[in-house]
């Protein structure tokens, strides 16, 4: 019985976290946009506009359900649920602190990639169900982009997994700090198993993993349809993409899914490349910073703060770089990112055979 | 709890597949196929085949089904109307292949049902007494990798060559004809 209660509490807690994250991420996004464009951002509602997004969500919740009369009502209603649930299940295998993980799966990353690909079905459902040309075209654009960019994401994850030799996200997290069961080498030559800190992170364990992380970051930006890859839903130039016909709480769910996806790719990149819940502070002689700042509470703090930092970079990029055209987007994916990630894959194999053993 | 989830998945798989073949709306039928594949993946989990379950979702739901939907959405509308126009007769001439297939499958089911017995086969008893069993918490994926790279390396490589052939074929088909 106690186990069942845990099984219920965990998803509810994650859902509440995602909801709160979305509220404040939207606020942060608008404030960052204001900062980048040299204006103030939301200022009217509450002190510094702090309650602006809460007011927005209350407005969205009150709106009536509008289903276009020619729409496929079942698909139209099911699509936001499928999209959100697909992203939400992804959180089930991500570790937040040492052994503090909702589901201890041996196939962690693989499961996550599979589940997140269901997202695409939901988008097609929304596009087709709306019975609107612009929605359908938007959905097809979004799927073409997501399916293409799933390849560099997958390849960069494989390149990292070849180094870690495990798909279990919890084990991957352990391999990057002072609690590591194996010896860790900084760039393959300096044993940092006792020192830990930032030197033990996967991005610094092999020189090419830094490139792999950059590939992963770019491709994951495209995967969650963020600028500069937001052609699927460019509101100002094209019609709003697959969610043109949505309003009220259904739109709120699509929005929630988008921000949840942002956080999911940020936390995934953190867990696999940026040391997961491990501290960035190394042990220096008698000052055991790494030992002092590793644990349940610290782990949560490091995971969340690193992920939020990555989300912050995503927002910064969104308001700094202009959009890619659709053909430039495909060129970047198929002609630059995929060959590069194949190269990194080969280097990973060689590195594992020749350097790590 | 497990029993309940098992029957939920089986119920979903059976009803969704029945609906998928009987529904008039082809788009909805394709989305029902998604439900079928997903609940089949759930059923694989009960056979402790987590790798196959995830691969099913990744390949069929994330790849094949999206391809099917794209083909459906980009194809000619008159062709689709022809497909959606199901004839009223129960057994009509165009369906004789399906009837044949269904009869063959039914005979397989009947034969296997008559041969089925409740007794546990000897080899299962033998494996259990030797402790040669898989637990839900075991790391199956590692064993799978070892098997692929040692015992089943020939089929594995043959499949990879086959996939390579299809990839080259797809690239060749989609290339523009070079005018000499």
On the question of pLDDT at B91 being above 60, the answer is no
Of the pLDDT bands very low, low, confident and very high (cuts 50, 70, 90), residue B155 is: very high
Contacts of A125 in chain B (CB under 8 A): 31
> Which of A128, A132, A136 to mutate: most B Cβ within 10 Å?
A128
d(CA A198, CA A184): 12
The answer to whether residue A227 sits within a structural domain is: yes
The answer to whether residue A111 sits within a structural domain is: yes
Contacts of A143 in chain B (CB under 8 A): 66, 70
On the question of pLDDT at B84 being above 80, the answer is no
The answer to whether residue A33 sits within a structural domain is: no
On the question of pLDDT at A194 being above 60, the answer is yes
User: Contact B61/A118, CB-based, under 8 Å?
Assistant: yes
d(CA A77, CA A79): 6
Which pLDDT does position A343 carry in this prediction?
A: 92
Q: How many CA atoms lie within 13 A of B174 on its CB side?
A: 6
Which pLDDT does position B15 carry in this prediction?
A: 92
Nearest Cβ partner of A111 from B38, B54, B66?
B54
On the question of pLDDT at B93 being above 70, the answer is no
On the question of pLDDT at A10 being above 60, the answer is yes
Which pLDDT does position B104 carry in this prediction?
A: 93
Which pLDDT does position A238 carry in this prediction?
A: 67
Q: How far is CA A308 from CA A47, A59, A314, A344, in A?
A: 23, 26, 10, 27
- What average pLDDT does the structure give for chain A? 85
The nearest alpha carbon in chain B to A143 belongs to B66
Q: Is the pTM of this model over 0.90?
A: no
| pLDDT more than 90, % of chain B | 22
Mean pLDDT of A156-176: 87
User: Contact A107/B58, CB-based, under 8 Å?
Assistant: no
Most confident of A208-217, A227-236, A239-248: A208-217
For A164, the domain range is: 63-356
DSSP secondary-structure letter at A335? Answer: I
The answer to whether residue A206 sits within a structural domain is: yes
The nearest alpha carbon in chain B to A126 belongs to B31
Q: Is the ipTM of this complex over 0.85?
A: no
With beta carbons less than 8 A apart as the criterion, state whether A184 and A205 touch: yes
The answer to whether residue A278 sits within a structural domain is: yes
d(CA B107, CA B110): 5
* Greater pLDDT, A115 or A283: A115
The answer to whether residue A251 sits within a structural domain is: yes
The answer to whether residue A35 sits within a structural domain is: no
Q: Is the peptide bond before A228 cis (omega within 30 degrees of 0)?
A: yes
Number of domains into which chain A is organized: 1
A167: which 2 tokens?
């798909």
A20: which 2 tokens?
């709160």
pLDDT tens by residue, A137-154: 888 888 888 888 889 999
CA-based nearest distance B82→chain A, Å? 20
With beta carbons less than 8 A apart as the criterion, state whether A263 and A90 touch: no
3-state secondary structure of A297: helix
The answer to whether residue A225 sits within a structural domain is: yes
Which pLDDT does position B94 carry in this prediction?
A: 63
Which pLDDT does position A147 carry in this prediction?
A: 86
Of the pLDDT bands very low, low, confident and very high (cuts 50, 70, 90), residue B88 is: low
User: Contact A120/B54, CB-based, under 8 Å?
Assistant: no
With beta carbons less than 8 A apart as the criterion, state whether B65 and B34 touch: yes
Of the pLDDT bands very low, low, confident and very high (cuts 50, 70, 90), residue A242 is: confident
On the question of pLDDT at B89 being above 80, the answer is no
pLDDT tens by residue, A63-85: 888 888 888 888 888 889 999 99
Which pLDDT does position A254 carry in this prediction?
A: 87
- Beta bridge partners of residue A190, listed in sequence order: A186
Nearest Cβ partner of B62 from A74, A106, A114?
A114
Of the pLDDT bands very low, low, confident and very high (cuts 50, 70, 90), residue A243 is: confident
Which pLDDT does position B86 carry in this prediction?
A: 55
On the question of pLDDT at B83 being above 70, the answer is no
With beta carbons less than 8 A apart as the criterion, state whether A160 and A208 touch: no
Contacts of B25 in chain A (CB under 8 A): 72
Contacts of A128 in chain B (CB under 8 A): 27, 69, 73
Q: How far is CA A311 from CA A106, A265, A318, in A?
A: 27, 9, 11
On the question of pLDDT at B160 being above 80, the answer is yes
Which pLDDT does position A130 carry in this prediction?
A: 85
Q: How many CA atoms lie within 13 A of A9 on its CB side?
A: 6
């Amino acid at each position: 019985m106690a186990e069942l209660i845990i099984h219920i509490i965990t998803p509810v807690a994650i859902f509440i976290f995602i909801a709160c994250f979305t509220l404040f991420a939207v606020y942060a996004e608008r404030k960052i946009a204001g900062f980048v464009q040299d204006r103030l951002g939301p200022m009217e509602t509450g002190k510094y506009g702090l309650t602006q997004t809460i007011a927005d969500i209350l407005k969205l919740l009150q709106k009536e359900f509008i289903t276009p009369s020619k729409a496929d009502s079942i698909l139209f209603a099911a699509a936001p649920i499928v999209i959100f649930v697909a992203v939400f299940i992804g959180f089930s295998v991500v570790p937040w602190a040492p052994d503090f993980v909702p589901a201890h799966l041996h196939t962690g990353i693989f499961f996550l990639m599979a589940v997140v690909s269901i997202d695409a079905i939901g988008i097609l459902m929304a596009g087709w169900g709306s019975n609107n040309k612009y929605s359908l075209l938007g959905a097809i654009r979004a799927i073409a982009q997501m399916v293409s960019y799933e390849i560099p994401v997958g390849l960069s994850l494989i390149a990292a997994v070849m180094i870690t030799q495990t798909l279990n996200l919890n084990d991957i997290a352990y391999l990057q700090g002072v609690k590591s069961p194996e010896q860790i080498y900084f760039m393959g030559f300096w044993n940092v198993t006792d020192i830990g800190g930032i030197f033990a992170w996967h991005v610094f364990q092999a020189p090419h993993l830094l490139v792999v992380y950059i590939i992963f970051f770019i491709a994951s930006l495209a995967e969650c349809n963020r600028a500069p890859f937001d052609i699927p839903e460019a509101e100002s130039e094209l019609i709003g993409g697959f969610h043109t016909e949505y309003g009220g709480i259904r739109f709120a769910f699509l929005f929630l899914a988008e921000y949840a996806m942002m956080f999911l790719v940020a936390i995934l990149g953190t867990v696999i490349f940026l040391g997961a819940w491990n501290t960035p502070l190394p042990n220096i002689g008698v000052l055991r910073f790494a030992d002092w700042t590793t644990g349940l509470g610290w782990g949560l703090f490091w995971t969340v703060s690193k992920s939020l930092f990555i989300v912050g970079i995503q927002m910064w990029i969104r308001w700094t770089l202009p959009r890619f055209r659709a053909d430039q987007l495909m060129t970047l994916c198929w002609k630059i990112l995929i060959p590069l990630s194949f190269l990194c894959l080969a280097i990973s194999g060689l590195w594992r055979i020749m350097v790590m053993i | 709890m497990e029993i309940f989830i098992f029957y939920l998945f089986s119920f979903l798989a059976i009803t969704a597949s029945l609906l998928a073949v009987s529904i008039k709306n082809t788009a909805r039928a394709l989305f029902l196929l998604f439900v079928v594949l997903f609940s089949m993946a759930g059923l694989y989990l009960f056979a402790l085949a987590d790798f196959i379950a995830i691969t099913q979702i990744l390949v069929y739901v994330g790849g094949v089904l999206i391809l099917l939907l794209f083909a459906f959405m980009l194809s000619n509308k008159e062709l689709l109307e022809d497909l959606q126009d199901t004839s009223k007769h129960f057994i009509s001439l165009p369906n004789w292949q399906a009837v044949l297939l269904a009869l063959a499958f039914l005979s397989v089911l009947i034969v296997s049902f008559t041969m089925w017995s409740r007794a546990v086969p000897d080899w299962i008893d033998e494996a259990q007494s030797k402790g040669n069993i898989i637990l839900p918490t075991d790391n199956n994926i590692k064993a799978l990798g070892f098997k692929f790279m040692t015992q089943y390396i020939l089929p594995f490589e043959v499949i990879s060559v086959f996939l390579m052939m299809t990839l080259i074929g797809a690239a060749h088909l989609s290339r523009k004809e070079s005018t000499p």
